[in-house]
Amino acid sequence: MAKDPERRDLFSGALDLMILHSLRVKPMHGYALAKHIKQASDELLQIEEGSLYPALQRLLKEGLLESEEGVSAKGRPTRIYRLTAAGARQLEREVSSFEKMFAGITRVLAVAEA
């Protein structure tokens, strides 16, 4: 996901998680979404467009997002993506499983250090 090899490689569901959560906070169009993730992570994460748009289409196809015509920040026509009810449910599932995984890793790491 990140271009810079210094940045950590994220697990495959990470991008979907980011997108779903960001869009739950506020429905946005593609460019705004990319900027939001970059800003919210304090520049630790930068999404490549090559992954963003295919991911958006995939989530659309699975029915977790829907798109509608809207207007960008500059007033030009674009498509705005928003979370569906199914998307919200999926997001919760993903967050909980991410938290479980994170907790598990933390505990393993804690054991090693001790």
Partner 1 sequence: MSRLLQIFSRRRHYDDLSVSIREHIAERAEELMEDGMPQAEAEQTARREFGNIGLIEQRSREVWQWPTVESVLADFRFALRQLIKSPGFVVTAVLTLGLGIAVNATMFSLVSAFLLPHLPGRDPQNLVVPTSINPDTNFQPSANPVSAPNYFAWASDKRLFSEVAAADEYRAGSLSEPGQQPEAITYAAVTANYFSVFGEAPQLGRAFLAGEDQPGHDHVLILSHGLWERRFGSDASVIGRTVRFNREEYMVAGVMPAEFRLLGFTAQLWAPLTLTAEDRAPGSRKNRFLYPFARLAPNVTLKQARVQLSTLAQQAQQDFPAVESRWGAAIRTLPEFLIYTFGIRPAITVVMTIVGLVLLIACANVSGLLLTRAVGRQKELAIRMSLGASRVRVVRQLVTEGLVIALLGGGVGLALTFVGIRLMRAGLTFNDAISAVPVTLDTNVLLFAAAVSLASAMLSSVVPALKASRTAINTDLKNESRGSSSCRGNNRLRVVLVGGEIAIALFLLIGSGLLIRGVYLLDHQKLGFDHDHLLTAGIGLDHARYADAIKQEQFVRSLTARLQQIPGVTGVAVSSDLPATGLGSVTFHIKGQAETRANEQRTTGDVVVTPDFFEIIGVPVVRGRGLTDRDDAGTPRVVLVNQQFVHKVFQDRDPVGKQIQLDTPGAPAAWSEIVGVIGDIRSFSEDPRIEPQVYECYKQRPVAFLSLMLRSNVDPTSLTPALRHTVAELDPELPLLRVMSMDGVIDMQRSGNPLFAKLLASFAVLALILSAIGIYGLIAYTVGQRTQEIGIRLALGATASDISRMILREGFKVAAIGSAIGFVVALPLPKLFESIFEGGLSFKAPVLYPLVLAAMLAVVFCATVGPARRATRVNPNDALRND
Q: Which residues bind partner 1 (CB under 8 A)?
A: 29-31, 34, 48-50, 53-54, 56-58, 60-61, 67, 72-74, 76-79
Sheet holding 28-29, edge to edge: 28-29, 77-83, 65-71
What are 68's strand-pairing partners?
80
* Shortest Å distance, C-beta 102 to partner 1: 29
* Shortest Å distance, C-beta 77 to partner 1: 7
Contact status, residue 86 vs residue 63, Cβ threshold 8 Å? yes
* Shortest Å distance, C-beta 16 to partner 1: 13
